[in-house]
Amino acid sequence: MSGTEYNGAEIIINSLVDLGVEVIFGYPGGAVLPLYDALFDQDKIRHILVRHEQAAVHAAEGYARSTGKPGVVLVTSGPGATNAVTGLTDAMLDSIPVICLTGQVPVHLIGSDAFQEADTVGITRHCTKHNYLVKDVDTISQVIHEAFYVATSGRPGPVVVDVPKDVQIFTSTEFHKGAVKHRSYRPEVKGDIKAITEAVTLLVGAKKPIFYTGGGVINSGPAAAQLLCEIVQLTGAPITSTLMGLGAYPASDKQFLGMLGMHGTYEANHAMHDCDVMVCVGARFDDRVTGRLDAFSPKSKKIHIDIDRSSINKTVRVDVPIVGDVAHVLEDMLKLWKAAVLEQGKQSYDDWWAEIEQWRSRKCLNYSSSKDKIMPQYALERLQALTKDKDVYFTTEVGQHQMWAAQYLKLEDPNRFMTSGGLGTMGYGFPAAIGTQIAHPDALVIDVAGEASIQMNIQELGTAVQYGLPVKIFILNNEYMGMVRQWQEMNHGARYSQSYSESLPDFIKLAKAYGAHGIVVDKPADLDAAIKEMMATDGLVIVDCRVEKLANCYPMVPSGAAHNEMILPDEAELQEFEGGAALV
């Protein structure tokens, strides 16, 4: 398509507008000045100025995960791009659609070690789904459209578009319109009907089935979560979810067994171990889920639905692989299941549920409460109770508080829980909450944080205050890098090497310094009032919730153990594990 002449920067911005982009998270610099100039004169795209490029990517992730739309990032060359790498890797591991535009030195300077030059496509090749270096302004619109197509189709992921400064200045009349037909990348969304039929036959004949669901359900969209609920409720089978999949199925439903894996529930892990048919829906048998591989669910036939063929048989061998989009496959599965049940009748799972109820009665999430100290689990229970009727979104940082959040916040809807699953990036939660709040200005957005993680992107207080974002930072402050301390206690003779957070800031004064509100609470009796004050306060709030310092996160499958060999809170003596120091 030809028409009026624009420079590369204007073409990029216009292409983004065409693609429906409303927000960009970014930070300016020398190599992106033409792009920032093009942003200056328009009002279709809102630019959110972060304080560090890593936070820009996490904010875009939060935006993407809470809306289902791709997030867009704009950073400069060299340090701008390298700072974005952690965010990109995070988006890669959690399959989040992010488009990151990076500035680059002018084409004729590439390879000369110019000022703020880095080999961005080289560095990001391993941490993006795909990346581009655009050397010809005539192709730039096409590349932007292609980048969106690649980031959002199939298994989503981050895409980097590296644009040299001169390419942003050169002019062209070339604009891409309409859908992209990629030369080589066209992922299948429909599952093979033969495989689906085989899966349904297994499922209908099962006596002890279980659904094991992951982030793929959420990535597939609201229809997938809807279909999942339908098929789970029609079959009457139990369901468990990975960290990434929480919220896709309502946690309050009696068929939901809670999260599985290293800090999953006793009932979820035991049901996974003893099931006879496992239906894995958009999850990838991560090592935090499986525990020791050769002891993982030894008696079951496994059905695996995944849009990425390389996820299938990667670690766990499955019996019925189905490559396709979760929503498409579940729709077919549901139809076939209904037909098969009409013909053959439905199995009774009464015995299976009786077994599960026994595991459930073990009440693995019980903890010893305290009158004078706030237990972190109690803090999250109260947070859950007091926010459950609100339009609420949670993000988390990484560590003990993250696992407690996954255990005690009962998530009812998809796209409401943003957490760094695959990469485990400390500092994720606060910028992700910023991105979430930008997308949902009137919602209650809470970052469940630890006092260590929050400091990894604490500079974003400036961003949140600048845009009047009423994010609530709820810090479970135990003065330790809690998960590190827990592992040192278990595996290194309680030698707390470098895991105590000395010289912590006064979070109340810190909030004040940025023009925000701070609340400190250290008595269980004051907790409800503090949470209510947090919710009643307009604008950014930091709650410094002083919790029991040495609480451990249970239940736990020690790394390297089978997934039914769990440590429960009431059995957990301070024993050292043999060979524990080698565990990861």
Partner 1 sequence: MYHTHKEIEITARHTLSIIVDNEAGVLARVIGLFSGRGYNIEHLTVAPVDLKGTESRITVVTIGTPHVIEQIKAQLDRLVPVHRVGDLTESGPHVERELALIKVHCKNNKQQAALRIAEAFRAKIVDSSHESYIFEVTGKTDKIKAFIRLMEDTGLVEAVRTGVAALTRGAQAL
Q: Is 108 in the site for partner 1 (CB under 8 A)?
A: no
Task: Out of 5, 42, 44, 115, pick the active-site residue.
Answer: 115
C-beta of 134 vs 380, nearer to partner 1: 134
- Quote the tokens at residue 88: 């990109």
Q: What letters, b where the CB count within 10 A reaches 16 and e where it falls short, cover 1-11?
A: eeeeebbbbbb
Among 22, 287, 533, 565, binds partner 1 (CB under 8 A): 287
Q: With contact defined as beta carbons under 8 Å apart, do 88 and 128 qualify?
A: yes
Q: Catalytic annotation on 577?
A: no
Q: Is 313 in the site for partner 1 (CB under 8 A)?
A: yes
Sign of CA dihedral 289, 290, 292, 293: negative
Q: Quote the least distance from Cβ 275 to partner 1, whole Å.
A: 20
Q: With contact defined as beta carbons under 8 Å apart, do 544 and 478 qualify?
A: no
Residues in 136-155 that interact with partner 1 by CB under 8 A: 150, 154-155
Among 133, 195, 279, 530, binds partner 1 (CB under 8 A): 133
User: Alpha-carbon distance 129 to 478, whole Å?
Assistant: 37
C-beta of 154 vs 209, nearer to partner 1: 154
Q: Quote the least distance from Cβ 280 to partner 1, whole Å.
A: 16
Q: Catalytic annotation on 259?
A: no
Among 20, 111, 122, 468, binds partner 1 (CB under 8 A): 122
Task: Out of 61, 129, 148, 165, pick the active-site residue.
Answer: 165
Q: Is 354 in the site for partner 1 (CB under 8 A)?
A: no
Contact pattern from residue 153 through residue 192 relative to partner 1, giving x for each residue in contact according to CB under 8 A and a dash for the rest = -xx--------------------------xxxx-------
Q: Quote the least distance from Cβ 310 to partner 1, whole Å.
A: 4
Of the ranges 126-134, 374-382, 430-438, 522-530, which one interacts with partner 1 (CB under 8 A)? 126-134
Q: Is 363 in the site for partner 1 (CB under 8 A)?
A: no
Contacts of 56 (CB under 8 A, 6+ apart): 25, 26, 27, 50, 73, 74, 75, 84, 87, 431
Beta bridge partners of 49: 26
State the virtual CA torsion across 554, 560, 562, 565 in degrees, nearest 10.
-40
User: Alpha-carbon distance 512 to 46, whole Å?
Assistant: 27
Q: With contact defined as beta carbons under 8 Å apart, do 202 and 301 qualify?
A: yes
Q: Quote the least distance from Cβ 404 to partner 1, whole Å.
A: 24
Q: Catalytic annotation on 165?
A: yes
Of the ranges 49-57, 270-278, 302-310, 498-506, which one interacts with partner 1 (CB under 8 A)? 302-310
Task: Out of 10, 53, 61, 146, pick the active-site residue.
Answer: 53
Task: Out of 244, 418, 481, 483, pick the active-site residue.
Answer: 483
Q: Is 254 in the site for partner 1 (CB under 8 A)?
A: no
C-beta of 162 vs 267, nearer to partner 1: 162
State the virtual CA torsion across 566, 569, 570, 572 in degrees, nearest 10.
70
Question: At 520, phi and psi to the nearest 5?
Answer: -115, 140
- For 26, the enclosing helix (H) or strand (E) is strand 23-26
**Side chain identity at residue 583, one-letter code:** L
Of the ranges 128-136, 249-257, 264-272, 497-505, which one interacts with partner 1 (CB under 8 A)? 128-136
Q: Is 492 in the site for partner 1 (CB under 8 A)?
A: no
Contacts of 528 (CB under 8 A, 6+ apart): 382, 386
3-state secondary structure 92-141: HHCCCCEEEEEEECCHHHCCCCCCCCCCHHHHHCCCCCEEEECCCHHHHH
Of the ranges 68-76, 130-138, 226-234, 519-527, which one interacts with partner 1 (CB under 8 A)? 130-138
Q: Is 356 in the site for partner 1 (CB under 8 A)?
A: no
Q: With contact defined as beta carbons under 8 Å apart, do 174 and 138 qualify?
A: yes
C-beta of 7 vs 290, nearer to partner 1: 290
Contact pattern from residue 317 through residue 346 relative to partner 1, giving x for each residue in contact according to CB under 8 A and a dash for the rest = x-----------------------------
Contact pattern from residue 550 through residue 569 relative to partner 1, giving x for each residue in contact according to CB under 8 A and a dash for the rest = ---------xx---------
Q: ω before 106 within 30° of 0 (cis)? A: no
Among 130, 362, 373, 410, binds partner 1 (CB under 8 A): 130
Task: Out of 69, 116, 373, 412, pick the active-site residue.
Answer: 116
Q: Quote the least distance from Cβ 368 to partner 1, whole Å.
A: 30
Q: Quote the least distance from Cβ 126 to partner 1, whole Å.
A: 6
Of the ranges 309-317, 371-379, 454-462, 522-530, which one interacts with partner 1 (CB under 8 A)? 309-317
Q: Is 292 in the site for partner 1 (CB under 8 A)?
A: yes
Q: Is 308 in the site for partner 1 (CB under 8 A)?
A: yes
Q: Is 1 in the site for partner 1 (CB under 8 A)?
A: no
Q: Catalytic annotation on 194?
A: no
Q: With contact defined as beta carbons under 8 Å apart, do 204 and 343 qualify?
A: no
Q: Is 358 in the site for partner 1 (CB under 8 A)?
A: no
Q: Is 424 in the site for partner 1 (CB under 8 A)?
A: no
Q: Would you give the end-to-end CA distance of the chain in angstroms?
A: 54
Q: Is 468 in the site for partner 1 (CB under 8 A)?
A: no
Question: At 48, phi and psi to the nearest 5?
Answer: -105, 115
Contacts of 160 (CB under 8 A, 6+ apart): 81, 88, 100, 101, 102, 120, 121, 124, 128, 131, 132
Q: Catalytic annotation on 483?
A: yes
Q: Is 129 in the site for partner 1 (CB under 8 A)?
A: yes
Among 126, 335, 512, 523, binds partner 1 (CB under 8 A): 126
Q: With contact defined as beta carbons under 8 Å apart, do 262 and 557 qualify?
A: yes
Of the ranges 16-24, 121-129, 239-247, 375-383, which one interacts with partner 1 (CB under 8 A)? 121-129
For residue 316, the 8-state DSSP code is S
Q: 241: number of CA atoms within 13 Å, CB side?
A: 31
Q: With contact defined as beta carbons under 8 Å apart, do 38 and 10 qualify?
A: yes
Among 109, 174, 205, 314, binds partner 1 (CB under 8 A): 314
User: Alpha-carbon distance 555 to 570, whole Å?
Assistant: 9
Cite the active site residues: 53, 115-116, 165, 483
Report the interface residues with partner 1, using CB under 8 A. 121-122, 125-126, 129-131, 133, 150, 154-155, 182-185, 287, 291-294, 308-310, 312-315, 317, 559-560, 579, 582-584
